[in-house]
Each structure stands twice: as C-alpha cells, then as structure tokens.
C-alpha cells in the first residue's frame, strides 16, 4: 500500500501544497489558514489514496495545520527543520515556497520519517502551561532588572533591608517607600503600623518594629539622585506592581500544572525520586511528554539534547561535546533537577548523587563539575524511563537505571 504525499510548506497564515502519488505531482495550490482554506485542503486529502500530510515545524505558524490534522484524524508527520534541511540540501540553491513544498515531498520519498503521535490532552495542556510559566519567568526577571535600575536612583539602600529582594514582602515595602523622604515623615510607630497593615505577609509587632528601625536608619543616611516627586519614583512603584502581579500569576500557573500532572500515573513515579518535587515533576512531564513513546534512553537523550557530538577526521578532531539540538527548556530543567538532588542529598539516599561524587573523585582524571552533571542527567533520564515503563517507584539501587532499559 503506497500512500499519497501531501507536502505543505507552511508560512504565516498560508501554506503551499504539493500532492504527489509515487513520484508524480498531481496538484499544487496555495490555501490560507481559514475555515474555507482548510476545507479546500480537506477536499484534496479526501481525493487522495491513503494520504499522509508532511509539513515542517514552524512554531506558531504550523499550529493551525497540526490542529487540523488532529481534528480530522489524519496521518501526519511534523518534520524537524534541521533534519529536513540536512536531508534535502543539494548543490543547486533554489528557494521559493512552491519549491520548498516540492522539496519536502521529494525528501520524504527518499527517506522514511516516523509519523507524529499527537500529545494526549493532559500532556498537551502541561506543555502549554510549562511554556507559559517559562515566559512568566522571563518577564519577571526582566522587570526585576528594571526595578533594580530604577531603585538605584531613588532609594538604593533599600536593597539592604531583605535577604530575598524579590520576595512579596520586599516588593510591598519598596512599593510603599520607594524614596527615603516618604519614610522620614513617619514616626517609628506609624511606620510599623503601615508595614504590618499594608504588606501581604502577616508581620508580628516585634518584626514590624525591627523593619521600621532599619528603614529609618537607611532613610536618614540615603542621598537619592532624584526628589520624591520625580517620575523615577512612579517607575519604581510600577515595576513593583508588575512583579507582584507576575508572582501571583506564576503561583497560579504552578497550581494548574501540579493539578493537571497529578491526574497521570507517571506523576507518582517522578515525585518518588529524591530531589524532584511536585512543581519539578509537573514541569518535566510538560517538557518531556509521555516518555514511554521513546524506544530507549538514547532517543530520550537526543530529545533533550545531551547526546554526544563527535568529530574526528584523520589525525585531527574536536573534544566530544553534547549536541544541544534538543529541547533547551527540558535540558535546563534537568540540569537544575540534578542540582536539587545534590543540594538535598541529606534528605534521602540517592544513587545519582553517589554517581556524581564518584565521577568528581575519579582517579587519576576527576571529571569537571559540568561533565559530571551531564552524566548524571543522562543517568536520571535512564532511571525515569525505566521507572515509568515498568510502573515502579524509585528504589535506592544502582542497578535500577541498567536492569530494565536496554540501549
């Protein structure tokens, strides 16, 4: 049974279509990503013999096409842009949307690609929540830098008041008193009452007086660059309000992630691993998806981007490095997960931590920190894949990551 190829070159709001049967081009056209446009595409697909839709992953632009395929239960393949480029490049460079659609069709005829298995609704929601959380983190960090720049001009000494300068309490206090002149007008008792009353945290009177005394001392010695009625003071308050809103939104998204993840069996296996809490487990599930779709740990490593890149030619070559071609968010998350395991090593026995120290103390050539961390990331993925595929919670055994998963 030979399937017809429906190759799409996806761009913003429209796609070029090339319909092939074996090596014969039957039709070409352009459709827009509207109801009428997709109706036109569906009519073509229904006329084809066992059709398979091939298109390149182009971020948000390919999302409507993927939804169309899922809604109509079509077989489709979401092509990796780098993999497609490596398999379709030739000496003659011709770049048009029509030629790109033809090139996709030609490439999939020469090389077989695995069809895409859509995420389940739960994992799809977790993925979107994870990406939203990362965007909120990015915005939060950006606003925090802007706040520090603005505060440096109005009341820089205020940064000395808190160990965690980005806590809700710190942000509330900065919003209340972005300039030393606003502190000097108040008595010690009135200042304490405002701190207790207007901050989200429930402060005791003793702690309120402590902060009030520190504030008064800092305000007396401060020499700001601008007066209290300057626009910079309003700027500080604006950034504080935005950071407080972003903090609340992040907390809301984390709760949604955890609630969604708890509905899947895999969640209990992730959280049984020492050093992986509810939030980390939910984020890993969102980025890795259903990892039982991978045949072995090597495929999972390649998805994350920690598989080795080797280059040797003749007598020359480069030192081995990880590819970094996979999911960068999953890779970063996994790196911090291993870091959490090391920091929390006294809470519970963990063979990943033991493995890390064995590598760091290996003689005669101890591994560098990052090399050991990546090796632990690899071992963690192997162990997680074994646990989830065999429905087993974490056990402190060095053989867990080797006994079940065959590479």
> What's the rounded Cα separation, in Å, for the pair 174 and 334?
34
Same-domain pairing of 174 and 60: no
Q: At what angle do helices 231-261 and 121-154 cross, to 10 degrees?
A: 160
Which residues, other chains included, contact 116 with Cβ-Cβ below 8 Å and sequence gap of 6+? 76, 77, 78
89-147 pLDDT, tens digit per residue, is: 664 566 677 888 999 999 999 888 889 989 899 999 999 999 999 999 999 999 999 99
Q: Do the beta carbons of residue 233 and residue 179 sit within 8 Å?
A: yes
How many domains are contained in the chain? 3
CA distance 29 to 19: 9
Q: Are residues 397 and 270 in the same domain?
A: yes
Tell me the β-bridge partners of 318. Answer: 311
Quickly state the pLDDT bin for 313 (edges 50, 70, 90): low
273 in the same domain as 226: no
Token readout for 286 is: 């969102």
The chain-wide mean pLDDT, for the chain, equals 88
Task: Judge whether 393 lies within some domain.
Answer: yes
Rounded CA gap, 78 and 68, in Å?
Answer: 13
In-domain check, residue 120: no
Residue 157 domain-assigned (yes or no): yes
Strand intervals (E) in 336-404: none
pLDDT value at residue 314: 63
Does 319 or 295 have the greater pLDDT score?
A: 295
Whether 144 and 241 share a structural domain: yes
Phi, psi angle pair for 120, to nearest 5°: -70, 160
Whether the predicted model's global pTM rises above the 0.95 cut: no
Longest dimension (CA), the chain: 87
Residues 274 and 393 in one domain: yes
Rounded-to-integer distance, Cα 264 and Cα 290, Å: 10
The answer to whether residues 106 and 130 belong to one domain is no
Which of 234, 258, 282 terminates a domain? The answer is 258
399 and 271 assigned to the same domain:
yes
User: Which residues make Cβ contacts (< 8 Å) with residue 91, sequence separation at least 6?
Assistant: none
Residue at which a domain ends, from 79, 110, 141: 110
Do residues 131 and 214 share a domain? yes
- 118 assigned to some structural domain: no
User: CA dist 347 to 120, 147, 273, Å?
Assistant: 34, 36, 12
Question: Distance of alpha carbon 176 from its chain centroid, rounded?
Answer: 34
Q: Is residue 119 part of a domain?
A: no
* CB of 134 closer than 8 Å to CB of 156: no
* Residue 161, phi then psi, degrees to nearest 5: -75, -30
Domain boundary among 53, 85, 110: 110
Considering the domain architecture, whether residues 299 and 318 belong to the same structural domain is answered as yes
Residue 384 shares a structural domain with residue 275: yes
148 has a pLDDT exceeding 70: yes
What pLDDT sits at residue 378?
Answer: 93
How far apart are alpha carbons 172 and 170 in whole angstroms? 5
289 and 239 both lie in a single domain: no
Domain that holds residue 319: 266-403
* In a domain? residue 177: yes
Range from 23-37, 264-278, 387-401 carrying the lowest mean pLDDT: 387-401
CATH of the domain at 58: 3.30.420.10
Which positions ≥6 away from 209 have C-beta within 8 Å? 188, 192
Torsion angles phi and psi, residue 20, rounded to 5 = -120, 140
Residue partners of 333: CB distance under 8 A and separation at least 6: 280, 283, 284, 287
pLDDT over 60 at 52, yes or no: yes
Q: Which helix or strand (DSSP H or E) is residue 158 part of?
A: none
Q: How far is CA 268 from each of CA 261, 289, 393, rounded to the nearest angstrom?
A: 9, 15, 7
| CA-based torsion, 143, 146, 150, 152: positive or negative | positive
pLDDT digits (tens, 9 = 90+) for 157-168: 988 887 777 788
User: What's the CATH number where 169 sits?
Assistant: 1.10.287.4070
Report the half-sphere exposure of 7 (CA within 13 A, side-chain side): 26
For residue 310, what pLDDT band results from cuts at 50, 70 and 90?
low
Mean local confidence (pLDDT), 262-291: 95
pLDDT digits (tens, 9 = 90+) for 321-355: 777 788 999 999 999 999 999 999 998 899 999 99
Domain membership of residue 210 (yes or no) is yes
Structure token digits, residue 317: 């070559």
Q: Which two tokens stand for residue 202?
A: 């429930």
Which whole number is the average pLDDT over 212-216?
A: 89
pLDDT value, residue 170: 85
Confidence of residue 400 (pLDDT cuts 50, 70, 90): very low
Prior bond to 151 cis, omega within 30?
Answer: no
Residues shown for the chain:
407
Q: Is the pLDDT of residue 318 over 70?
A: no
Question: What's the CA gap between 272 and 190, in Å, rounded?
Answer: 49
Clarify whether residues 173 and 274 are in a common domain: no
């Amino acid at each position: 049974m030979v399937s017809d190829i429906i190759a799409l070159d996806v761009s913003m709001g429209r796609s070029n279509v090339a319909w092939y049967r074996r090596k014969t081009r039957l039709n070409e056209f352009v459709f827009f990503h509207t109801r009428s446009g997709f109706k036109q595409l569906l009519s073509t697909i229904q006329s084809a013999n066992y059709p398979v839709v091939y298109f390149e992953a182009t971020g948000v632009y390919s999302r409507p096409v993927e939804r169309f395929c899922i809604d109509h239960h079509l077989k489709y393949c979401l092509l990796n842009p780098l993999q497609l480029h490596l398999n379709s490049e030739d000496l003659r460079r011709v770049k048009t949307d029509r030629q790109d659609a033809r090139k996709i069709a030609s490439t999939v005829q020469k090389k077989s690609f695995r069809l895409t298995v859509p995420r389940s609704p739960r994992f799809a929601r977790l993925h979107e929540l994870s990406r939203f959380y990362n965007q909120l983190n990015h915005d939060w960090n950006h606003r925090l830098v802007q706040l520090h720049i603005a505060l440096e001009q109005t009341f820089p000494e205020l940064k000395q008041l808190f160990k965690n300068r980005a806590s809700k309490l710190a942000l509330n206090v900065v919003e209340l008193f972005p300039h030393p002149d606003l502190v000097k007008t108040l008595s010690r008792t009135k200042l304490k009452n405002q701190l207790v009353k207007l901050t989200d945290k429930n402060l005791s009177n003793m702690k309120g007086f402590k902060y009030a005394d520190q504030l008064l001392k800092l305000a007396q010695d401060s020499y700001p660059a601008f007066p209290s009625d300057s626009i910079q003071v309003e700027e500080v308050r604006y950034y504080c309000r935005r950071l407080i809103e972003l903090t609340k939104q992040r907390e809301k998204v984390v709760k949604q992630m955890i609630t969604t993840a708890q509905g899947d069996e895999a969640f209990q296996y992730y959280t049984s691993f020492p050093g992986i809490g509810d939030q980390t487990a939910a984020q890993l599930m969102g980025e890795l998806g259903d990892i039982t779709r991978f045949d072995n740990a090597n495929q999972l490593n390649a998805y994350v981007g920690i598989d080795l890149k080797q280059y040797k030619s003749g007598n020359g070559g480069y030192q081995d490095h990880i590819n970094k071609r996979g999911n960068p968010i999953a890779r970063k998350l996994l790196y911090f997960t291993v870091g959490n395991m090391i920091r929390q090593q006294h809470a519970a026995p963990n063979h990943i931590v033991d493995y890390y120290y064995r590598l760091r103390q290996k003689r005669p050539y101890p591994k560098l920190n990052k090399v050991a961390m990546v090796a632990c990331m690899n071992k963690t993925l192997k162990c997680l894949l074994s646990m989830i595929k065999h429905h087993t919670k974490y056990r402190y055994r060095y053989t867990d990551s080797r006994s079940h998963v065959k590479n």
